[in-house]
Amino acid sequence: MNQESISIFDIFKIGIGPSSSHTLGPWRAAQKFTNFLKENNFLQQVESVEVLLYGSLAKTGLGHGTGIAIQLGLSGEDPITLNLNHLNSKIEDISKMKKILLAGIHEIDFIAAEDIEFLYQESLPYHPNALTFLASLHNGNHQAKTYYSVGGGFVEEEGELKKNQHQIILPFPIQKAADLLHWCRSTGMSISEIVMENENAWRTESLTKNGILNIWEVMSASIYKGCHTKGYLPGGLNVTRRAFEMNKKIVDDSIYHNNEEWLRKIKSKGNEFNYILDCVSCFALAVNEENASFGRVVTAPTNGAAGVIPAVLQYFIAFCDGDSEEKIIQFLLVASEIGSIFKKGATISAAMGGCQAEIGVSSAMAAAALTECMGGTQRQAMMAAEIAMEHHLGMTCDPIGGLVQIPCIERNAMGSIKAITASQLALQSAPDYAKVSLDGIVKTMWDTALDMNSKYKETSEGGLAVNIPLGLSEC
């Protein structure tokens, strides 16, 4: 079996909402295509560009902002560095001028409504999230590339599907949970220590730690911003942002001026069960309301599930004495490895596996991470991941209106609570008596994904998406 090497920074990517597979992935694909044109000296010869969207990308692309992401990617903008205050104006300029500046260099005529085509009834066999770029050159020739957005912002080019540009030799190669357990047993190291040793194959430990803390900084900022922004979410459903009002109730009339002071206020109000439950739910809702508003979030492992890991980590920091850089690093290292195992053995794409591939995986990641950070053994951490996923099996992806809002936002709160519960169960259990292994649940999840009707896989053709009329206010 080919070993796939996945870094923590492959699992956790800084990007812009609302979807890692339908927004970030197509954005990256557009960048890849313009880079291909530049590297092969085709860019200045381009006369026009046509983009074809297939399968799930077509069916829910409007609600996910796929066309917007493609235009920004073709323009040379990057989701990590783009000033979000300029996002709408850039799209408006392209629409008004009917031109686009490819890679920020070469201007061509471009009308999004005509040049981005949504092929609702067509799919490509490899993956439901497929898109093709076709560039027509001045000399009459054409250059075309097809890409697959396979979940979590990962993008694969057709013809190079088996190529892994991050493939390097790791000291502890891990393809499944049994491999991770083997290395933990043979070395005596924790999961986070094993993962850090593998990360050292890519870069120095200091660079890895700094990168992880930067990931948390973006996560934390998305919580804080989401808790302090009121109004309605874009897209036409008129969904009210709830984190703002929840946060007001949590902190009462407390005065604070920044994230750190706000967190101190939260910590100071005790640890009564209902209070903690409200806080965790608020944290998760805040992130995914930011995600739904084209805000900057971290794929964890996807944008649709971006709120679970930040909410559970914030819970650990606020209520479990986890407020240290080393603990934050430990948490995210463990979470990334569990996400990697699910990606290798199943999928993190809702278009392939339904919402179990997003919220289920993120809940499993958070559960394992919390368990190790709370003093659990390696086997207890893996047990926690299994428990969390076991109770997400079969969850469908049925977003109303193709928007990452209903039921996606609330599901992040539920996934967060399930992760904490799974961790507690694992910490109070003996893995020797467990009947289900983490590898067993990964296989079961994948089998379930294969059996699931395609209309429940991010198409908005089943479930809540067809039973709840558009425009209905969220309860």
Is 63 a domain residue?
yes
- What confidence score (pLDDT) does residue 475 get? 36
Is 364 a domain residue?
yes
The last residue of a domain, from among 87, 122, 157: 157
- What confidence score (pLDDT) does residue 159 get? 85
User: How far is 171 from 200, CA to CA, in rounded Å?
Assistant: 9
User: How far is 16 from 79, CA to CA, in rounded Å?
Assistant: 6
Is 171 a domain residue?
no
Q: Where are the beta strands (DSSP E) in 270-388?
A: 296-299
* pTM for this model (two decimals): 0.94
User: How far is 442 from 213, CA to CA, in rounded Å?
Assistant: 29
- What confidence score (pLDDT) does residue 441 get? 98
Instruction: Count up the domains in the chain and report the number.
Output: 2
In the chain, how long is the greatest CA-to-CA distance? 71
- What confidence score (pLDDT) does residue 161 get? 57
Residues in the chain predicted with pLDDT less than 50, given as ranges, are 1, 164-165, 472-475
Is 434 a domain residue?
yes
- Chain-centroid distance of CA 199 in Å reads 20
Whether residues 239 and 338 share a domain: the answer is yes
Whether residues 83 and 225 share a domain: the answer is no
Buried b or exposed e, range 337-355, using 16+ CB within 10 angstroms: bbbbbbbbbbbbbbbbbbb
| Residue type (1 letter), 84 | L
Sign (positive or negative) of CA dihedral 311, 312, 314, 319: positive
- What confidence score (pLDDT) does residue 167 get? 66
Buried b or exposed e, range 84-119, using 16+ CB within 10 angstroms: eeebeebbeebeeeeebbbbeebebebebeebbbbb
Whether residues 63 and 148 share a domain: the answer is yes
User: How far is 317 from 308, CA to CA, in rounded Å?
Assistant: 14
- Chain-centroid distance of CA 207 in Å reads 22
Q: 217 vs 97, 200, 254, CA distance in Å?
A: 37, 22, 23
- What confidence score (pLDDT) does residue 1 get? 44
Whether residues 259 and 390 share a domain: the answer is yes
Whether residues 221 and 335 share a domain: the answer is yes
Asked if residues 385 and 338 have their Cβ atoms less than 8 Å apart, the reply is yes
Whether residues 141 and 193 share a domain: the answer is no
What value, to the nearest 5°, has the Cα angle with vertex 264 and ends 263 and 265? 90
Q: 349 vs 7, 11, 100, 457, CA distance in Å?
A: 18, 12, 30, 9
Whether residues 96 and 184 share a domain: the answer is no
CATH (domain of 31) = 3.30.1330.90
Q: Read off the tokens for 246.
A: 């929840």
> Taking phi first (over 0 means left), then psi (-120 to 50 degrees means alpha), and beta for anything else, what does residue 152 get?
left
- What confidence score (pLDDT) does residue 474 get? 43
Q: Where are the beta strands (DSSP E) in 203-250?
A: none
Whether residues 369 and 413 share a domain: the answer is yes
What is the DSSP code (8-state) at residue 152? T
Domain containing 53 equals 8-157
